[in-house]
Amino acid sequence: MKKVKFLFGVHCHQPVGNFSHVLDEAYERSYLPFIQVMDAHPRIKFAVHYSGILYDWFLAKHPEFIDYLKKLVKRGQLEVITAGYYEPIIPIIPDEDKVGQIAMSNRFIKEHFGLAPRGLWLTERIWEPHLPKVLAQTGIEYVMVDDQHFLSAGLPPEQLLGHYVTEEAGAELKIFPISKQLRYLIPFKLPEETIRYLHSLATESGDQAAILADDGEKFGVWPGTYKWVFEEGYLEKLLTLIEDNNSWIESQTFSEYLDSVPPRGRVYLPTASYFEMMEWSLPTASAKKLDRIINELKQHGKFEEYSQFFKGGFFRNFFVKYPEANNMHKKMLQVSQKLQTLKQGKSLIGEQERDARLQAAKEELYQGQCNCAYWHGVFGGLYLNYLRHAVYEHLIKAEVLMDRYARGKDNYAEIAVTDFDKDGHDEVILTNNLLNLYFAPAYGGALFELDYKPKAFNLINTLARREEVYHDKLKHAARGGGSGVSSIHEIVKSKEEGLERALDYDWHRRISLLDHFLADGTELEGFSRAKYQELGDFTTAPFEYLPKRRGNEVGLLLRRTGQVGGVPVRLEKEVTICAKQSIVTINYELTNLGQEELSAWFGSEFNFSLLAGRADDRYYEIPGETLTDRTLASKGVSESRTGLKLVDKWKGFSVSFELDRPADFWRFPVETVSQSESGFERTYQSSVVLPNWRLQLEPNVSWRVKIVIRIEE
């Protein structure tokens, strides 16, 4: 009789920083009912991976669930596989952290389930060829990746029904190819279709494997799946059919298959992830071209035939496509390097005390490595400000813990020059015990990160508005095409503004200390939509820079000679901070270097993100003015004011502007349109504050203004 082996696994994860109600819902609608149905079918073996975020949550909220899993492990039905504890993208974190994160997960599994894990869930199935060597250090025997990885290496589909061996510097690793066909069948098609597909794979030898390892949230959390999978009994029917056909379908764990069937050969895989991830990582223009080719092939029924030739992009290119993701990644590397340096240094407080303090910092670092906020696709969370905030929060907490270890209670103010973002240009970092300020002299002399350490809060955790491939659907709908409108959430709700208005794109990053010279007639509406005339060449241009130190004060002088409407202008801005103070002082000086009078309209753009644009506990205050709408998503002009405040009662601090000469304050929100598994979403990213002045300068005359930014609780 022809037979086939069925290897089945699920991976479950929720991001660091996700809302508690999301975890509650996932547990009730997916994690618990899935295990309950599997428990009722003890002959169906399977594997699970839960991220450390979920393990911690289970222990705190549902410890009985861990006991439930123990029962299935003891029964021999369930194999528990490991990963990086806080679900990092393994290739992009330092090797020391790769080993540490996996070891942390291994310890948990061995302690709670009694067995050392043999397999590893590779986050987002992101593979790079150097992995076998480092994974071997953690005792890992096998991983699962998509069949697309193997197709990209030139293997034909009919050879992807078992496992292979790869190596790096002689360190071996077994690799299973996950079936795309099964990923699309389970749980979305009728159970009978899966059985027919399994039957097509059966052979006389019976050693071919149908391999599925995929997101557990497909079973109940994804839109519409709870009703189908559990209420209408899909999973129960599928498992029953497999049991009814157990004479030719043999259910095995991955480890059982490894022990009973030899590998099919040696393979070397290129850098890859699942097909969709690789497409998402492409630059938008390239992704559009690829999308058109794919759609054309699908129309002619040729896509599956040629899909193996579409390797797509490379995950690390998310750090090129989105500089905001790159900043988080390089901040993470900076914190990790600092931790390694401290671990190697001598301790003045005793080894045990040192290890305890650095362990606390390490756990904060590891949480800041959670992958979800570092990329964007249908599932990636880069567009979700609260997930980016969680990354920064943990990385800043790790920094604070290390500072306390290294410095004690000493107050300090320091300056560092380094190529922080690895773009070939130096950045400058001003820091004291309360603040971090990161500057990009090569990009407008802008301030791109401002950390308030007492609250572990990056105030410039922002995201620019960019064109995405899926925006074409919304543009089509806005032109009356109708396609795609049914899945829009908040966009539809704000339809009175027009869909086109939600798709504005920024020509520069939404950060701070960006210098603008506006043309006469510019209005807030056009400026807020990035549809206006810029008369200067300062906003994104390189500045000369000079670090400064005076006693307990550090500063940075930024200077550029450019043009405003054809008139040569020198712009200087000096930023200073002092030890023990959460105050940033900014002194601007503009000088007309031309031979005739300069008439200019100057503004300095600041972007701050307090995470919620329409929350009652986050709002503007403007002295002498009563705002009809004071939320951070409001838009307006306040004329001739010397102050403005952004208040965050949720976190318990405020950010105040204090000017030594009146300005007109423009304010408006930056909101992005992104796609998730639930449809299209409109997301608040930051609040823009633009103090601006109209200037008349004679030749060789300078104009000055002092801006003080005060952060206080």
**DSSP notation for 394-408:** HHHHHHHHHHHHHHT
Q: Kindly list the strands in the beta sheet with 446-452, ordered across the sheet, starting from the edge strand earlier in the chain.
A: 413-418, 427-432, 435-440, 446-452, 457-458
- How is the chain split into domains, by residue range? 4-271, 333-410, 504-536+593-712
Residue with tokens 């403005």: 644
Contact between 491 and 680 (Cβ < 8 Å): yes
- Residue 533 carries which DSSP code? -
Position 677 confidence tier, pLDDT thresholds 50, 70, 90: confident
Q: Which of helix, strand or coil describes residue 603?
A: strand
C-alpha span between 285 and 469 (Å, rounded): 8
For CA atoms 277, 282, 285, 286, give the dihedral sign. negative
One of 39, 96, 207, 215 is an active-site residue; which one? 215
Q: Look up 421 and say whether it is catalytic.
A: no
Under the banding of pLDDT at 50, 70 and 90, the label for residue 499 is: very low
pLDDT at 308: 60
Instruction: State the pLDDT at residue 489.
Output: 39
Model confidence pLDDT, tens digit, residues 512-522: 999 999 999 99
CA count, 13 A, side-chain hemisphere, 252:
22
Architecture of domain 4-271: Alpha-Beta Barrel (3.20)
Task: Report pLDDT digits (tens) over 409-466.
Answer: 778 999 999 999 999 999 999 999 999 999 999 999 999 999 999 999 999 999 999 9
The token pair that represents 72 in the structure block: 């299935």
Question: What does the alpha-carbon distance between residue 211 and residue 193 come to, in Å, rounded to a whole number?
Answer: 16
- The tens digit of pLDDT for each residue in 13-39 reads 999 999 999 999 999 999 999 999 999
Q: Of residues 79, 87, 97, 124, which has the active-site annotation? A: 124
pLDDT given for residue 484 in this prediction: 39
pLDDT tens string 308-358: 666 678 999 999 999 999 999 999 999 999 999 998 877 666 677 888 889
Mean pLDDT of the chain, nearest integer: 93
- Average pLDDT on 145-164 reads 94
Q: Is 535 exposed, middle or buried (0-12, 13-18, 19+ CB in 10 A)?
A: buried
Mean pLDDT, residues 134-143: 96
Task: Give the pLDDT confidence of 614-636 residue by residue, as tens digits.
Answer: 999 999 999 999 999 999 999 99
Under the banding of pLDDT at 50, 70 and 90, the label for residue 487 is very low
The whole-number average pLDDT for the span 555-575 is 97
pTM of structure: 0.94
What's the average model confidence in pLDDT over 696-712?
Answer: 97
Rounded to an integer, the average pLDDT of 203-215 is 97
Q: What is the pLDDT of residues 253-305, one digit of tens each?
A: 999 999 999 999 999 999 999 888 888 898 888 878 777 877 777 777 776 66
Q: What is the pLDDT of residue 218?
A: 96
Among candidate residues 489, 499, 284, the one with its CA nearest the CA of residue 377: 284
Q: How far is 53 from 396, CA to CA, in rounded Å?
A: 19
Contact (Cβ atoms closer than 8 angstroms) between residue 324 and residue 388:
yes
Q: What percent of the chain has pLDDT over 70?
A: 94
Asked if 557 contacts 546 with a C-beta cutoff of 8 angstroms, the reply is yes
Tokens of 46: 């399977």
CATH entry, 504-536+593-712, from 2.60.40.10, 2.40.30.10, 2.70.98.10, 3.90.230.10: 2.70.98.10
Is it true that 4-271 and 504-536+593-712 share their CATH fold? no
Q: State how far the Cα of 228 lies from the Cα of 235, in Å rounded to an integer.
A: 9
Q: For residue 640, what is the enclosing H or E element? A: strand 636-648
CB contact at 8 A, 145 and 139: no
302 vs 598, higher pLDDT:
598
For the question of residue 291 being annotated catalytic, the response is: no
φ/ψ of 632, rounded to 5, equals -75, -10
Question: Concatenated DSSP letters for 306-369?
Answer: HGGG-----GGGHHHH-HHHHHHHHHHHHHHHHHHHHHHS--SS-HHHHHHHHHHHHHHHHHTT
Checking if the pLDDT of 498 tops 50, the result is no
